[in-house]
Each structure stands twice: as C-alpha cells, then as structure tokens.
Structure 1
Amino acid sequence: MPNKKERPPVPERLPAPVVDAHTHLDACGAVDAAGVAEIVDRAAAAGVTRVVTVADDLASARWVTEASTWDSRVFAAVAIHPTRTKDFSDTERSEVERLARADRVVAVGETGLDYYWDYAPHDAQQEAFRWHIDLAKRVRKPLMIHDRDAHEDILRILAEEGAPEQVVFHCFSGDADFARRCVDAGYVLSFAGTVTFKNARALQDAARLVPSEQFLVETDAPFLTPHPFRGRANEPYCTAYTVRYLAELRQQPVQEIATAACRNAERVFQLPSVTTS
C-alpha cells in the first residue's frame, strides 16, 4: 500500500508548457526561496513551467506576494478566503488592496462563497465577496473565485455587482448546466485533480463542453491530487496528470490541451508568452 505522505512520481514532461493556475506553495511546505525553487523545479521537469500561488488569509497574502519575487516562474494571487471573513476588518482590506497592486500579483483570489463549512456567516461572506469584486475591478486584475455549494449566489452577486473583465472559477465544481451558464457569461473554468476522480461524472461532463479558450488547469496543491494518487501529497507538477486526463476526456491531443491552457493563462493573468517547452 502506498505511503499517503509520499508524493506521486513526477510524470513524463508534457509536449508543451502549462501554467498551474492555482496552487498554495506555502501549504506545500515551501518556507523560503530555496523551498520554492525546489517545488517549481519539479514542476518544470513535468512541463509545468509557471505557477500562481494563492493566498487564503492575510499572512499568506504577504507570503505569496514576497514569494513571487523569489523566482521568475512564480506569480501570486491575494484575497481573504470566504471561510475567514467572519471578522474582515478595514485594516485587512487596506492591506489586501496594497498587496493586490503589487506587480507580480496577477489576480484577486481566492474569494467567493463557501456554504459547506460554517466558519463564517453567509452575509459576512457575501459582503466580503462584493468588496473583492470591486477590488478586482479597481486594480484591473482577474477575480479568482472559490465556490463551494454556492453556485446560485455566486452568479447572482456577480450579476448584481458587475463582473470584472476576467473571472476564473477556481477548481470548478459544477455540472454541465452550470458550466454552460458560466461559459455564456464569459467566465473561465479552471479544472483541478477533482475532474479525474471516478465519482466526478457531472464534472467530467462539464469539462467536455467548455470551449478551448475558456479553461485553465490547476492543482490546488497540496490538496486534490489527481487519480490514481488521490489522498497523497499534491504539488504543481501533478498538473501534468490532469492535462493528460483532460486530453483523453475531450478526445484531443495532449499538446493541444496544454497549449490552450497555457495560452489562456497568459491571457487571463497577463503573463509573458512562452513559445517553447
């Protein structure tokens, strides 16, 4: 029986580079520049050449912003996670906005709604979500959404507030109908290892229909390790497993999926283009 703490093997390098659109390098164990380099070196060996490391509280927001300056392959996203919005002070808002304006912070996230956990009242989450939407528009950066059991309220609030130019549904969790509604609204759907799970038929149906210009790939590492390594430690290099699964699911060449995902990440996050793997 495999050791649950053991990382999956680093897979064969993808035929084209991709971006891990959502990971948590601090939660993966990185504490300094050397630790970050070690993780992104492993990712690069699998063809995952850049990562967006994402904050979920103020301390993490400070860390990811700093970490993005340690390695040219690392970018950041900052926000207060919806489960942490019970007491979202003006001081925190001011600090998040300051960090969101940093050059290598490429998105406001992850923000949104989480009705699975009860750490923060729904009204507090919704108020914080509205504030983050406004922030994304003011700093002119994409909005990275956490949506757990809150599909209808997410879409309602986006419509009421007016969505930023770019909206990313991180770790998309809806079915085909919800995916169509998001796609029709112009939103981008980011697929994590969950799409590879055997019990994820509805999510797989959603992944089949998303246009090639409206999807990203991510790990949400250290969580949600792709099948057949579910339950083991996840890292950005595991994006390659999800890319290959999506290629099989969508009946497209691996290179085509990788190229589309990379091109979309460059457009959404305004990253410099790369033309070689």
Structure 2
Amino acid sequence: MSEPIRTRKSYDGVAGRPANYPELPQPLEVGTYDNHTHLEIADGDQPMSVADHMEAMRAVNMLGAVQVGVTLESSIWSAEVASKEPMLLAAVALHPNEAPLYSTRAELDEAIAGIAQLAKGPRVRAIGETGLDFFRTQGDEQLEAQLYSFEQHIQIAKENDIALMIHDREAHSEVVATLRRLGAPERTVFHCYSGDVELAQMCQENGWYLSFAGNITFKKNQHLRDSLLAVSPELLMIETDAPFLTPEPMRGRPNAPYLVPHTLRFIAELLGWDEVRTAEQLNQNTERVYGLWSEGL
C-alpha cells in the first residue's frame, strides 16, 4: 500500500488539545461514505498510514471514501492507491490555488493533460477538486490561470462522464456563472459546501449536490445548517476534507474518514431523522454520483 506523500500540520492548535488523532466513535449501524478526503497528507504527531485509515474506517463501519488529488503528483498517487484499495475511489485535479503556480501556460496545459489521462482510469470517478478560490489567489494573471484551469477540468469531467468536485471559496457567483456558461457535468458536487441559502437554492434548481464537512458542527456556521435544510435530502452528501475541518468536539485535532459518524449524527439531528435513515439517504446519493466501490478493481 502506498504511503502518504506529504506531511503537514493541519490542526488548528486549540489550547490543551493534543495533536493526535481522536478516539474511535461509536460504529454506525448502517455504514456510509466519506466523499472527500486527503489521505496523502500525513498529519498529526503520529501520522496514520493508509492501512491505518482503512482499519479505523472498518472499525466504525465506514463503507469507503473518495481520495482526492490536488496536484498532478497527488492525483497520480490517488489513482494508484484507489486501484489497489477496495475501500477507495479517486478524484483527480489541479487545485485552484495550484494552477497559478505554473510559470507558463504550456506547463499548465501539460499538467492538465496529465489529469485528463488519469481521468480514464476505472477507479477515478471524479475530477476534483477544481474550481475557484478568491481567498488565497489574487491578481488578474493568477485568477485568469485559475479560471482557465477550471474550464479545462469541467470539460475533462464531461468528456469522461464522471463527476465534477468543486472547490468554491469566496467565489460563489463566478463558479455558478462558469458552470452555466460551459454547462455543468451531469453530476456536480460542491465540496465542503460554504455558501448561504441563496447558493443552496441555486444548487437545488440545477440538481447540484451539496457536500457537508465537519465545519457544519461549528457554532458560527449557522448558514451551513440553514443551507442543508433548504435543499432536498436527495442532494446531500457528507465528507471530512480530512485532515482538515475536524468536527466538534474534536476540533483542533487531525481529521480522518473514521470520524464521519460524528458529522452524520449531527446532520441526522438537523433533519429530524435517525442515523439509519440518514446513512441510507447519503449512500443512495453518493453511489448515484460516483458509482459502486466494488467496480473497476
């Protein structure tokens, strides 16, 4: 099994909390999926291997996860590890903040061509994460490269009839405008949904999926909870964005797919459903977007 390829301290250092992975939650009665995770990032004071993550997922009855690339290197890693591990599918892309780092358009095109080649793999089920990020990327030339990359990724998803996994940070109207101008892929997911009810309603109108991470549990994020309740349950998905966005009450420690049960139970309470019904709905939605984890091995 391939080991993580980069190390990063991603936890936010809440005072008095250790920089290691939290204990296992109570297992789910009906397992579900983490539809966006970054296992290539070895995090915490005692990083977990891919095998460690799989063992922890099985211990809490998780069914699988989508391993997401953000560079050409990590996308190659994601496709490779998904080809060997039955619990993982892959998404491949250049992150919006990566595109402006290429010094020439030719170099960017070469990297995008690499993503297009990876997209043909049977275990690669999404192009992502791609999109627009106006928080970290600034300057006309840099934003132009970001938009160009996003447009190319949209086309790759459509050409391969696989899902599009969107990173949208402080760029809601521009992301929507781009999807409408080019035509969104049939299955489009707003990863780590960060918008308000207005954007949620746009997603509802267009049949785009809203994927919620552990930050929906943060007290300040009422707009996320309102957005979840503003759309049909058939458009809801769940993720970790691990090792980031660890849900309460473990915030400040590294995140991992095995912690999905905390967020699922929180979402179930919001919906007024039990966790079994919630998991079953999320599973239907996730398999509609990515297909079955048992295929393509």
Q: Does the alignment reach a TM-score above 0.5?
A: yes
Q: Is the 8 A contact 2:17 2:252 kept in 1?
A: no
Q: Is the 8 A contact 1:47 1:240 kept in 2?
A: no
3-state DSSP of counterpart to 2:83: coil
AA of the residue aligned to 1:165: E
Q: How does 1:90-105 map to 2 (within 5 A)?
A: 90-105=109-124
How far 1:142 sits from its partner (Å)?
0.4
Equivalent of 1:137 in 149, 153, 158 = 158
How many residue pairs get matched? 271
The answer for unaligned runs of 5 or more in structure 2 is 1-14
- Taking the aligned partners of 1:2 and 1:269, their CA distance within structure 2 comes to 39
Q: How does 1:192-231 map to 2 (within 5 A)?
A: 192-231=213-252
Equivalent of 2:210 in 179, 186, 189 = 189
Q: What TM-score, normalized to structure 1? A: 0.94
- Taking the aligned partners of 1:92 and 1:181, their CA distance within structure 2 comes to 32
How far 1:2 sits from its partner (Å)?
4.6
User: Which residue of the partner structure matches residue 186 of structure 2?
Assistant: 165
Report the more deviating stretch, 130-139 or 5-14. 5-14
Identical aligned residues as a percent: 39
Show CA shifts across 1:38-76 (max 9, x none).
102101211222010000001101101111122101110
AA of the residue aligned to 1:71: E
How far 1:124 sits from its partner (Å)?
1.2
3-state DSSP of counterpart to 2:245: coil
AA of the residue aligned to 1:98: Q
- Taking the aligned partners of 1:54 and 1:4, their CA distance within structure 2 comes to 26
- Taking the aligned partners of 2:204 and 2:260, their CA distance within structure 1 comes to 22
3-state DSSP of counterpart to 1:83: coil
Moved beyond 4 Å, runs of 4+: none
The answer for unaligned runs of 5 or more in structure 1 is none
User: Which residue of the partner structure matches residue 73 of structure 1?
Assistant: 87
How far 1:231 sits from its partner (Å)?
1.4
User: What's the C-alpha RMSD, in Å, of the aligned pairs?
Assistant: 1.8
AA of the residue aligned to 1:157: T
- Taking the aligned partners of 2:123 and 2:59, their CA distance within structure 1 comes to 23
3-state DSSP of counterpart to 1:3: coil
User: Which residue of the partner structure matches residue 6 of structure 1?
Assistant: 20
User: Which residue of the partner structure matches residue 265 of structure 2?
Assistant: 244
User: Which residue of the partner structure matches residue 97 of structure 2?
Assistant: 83
Equivalent of 2:195 in 161, 164, 174 = 174
- 1:146 equivalent to 2:160? Answer no
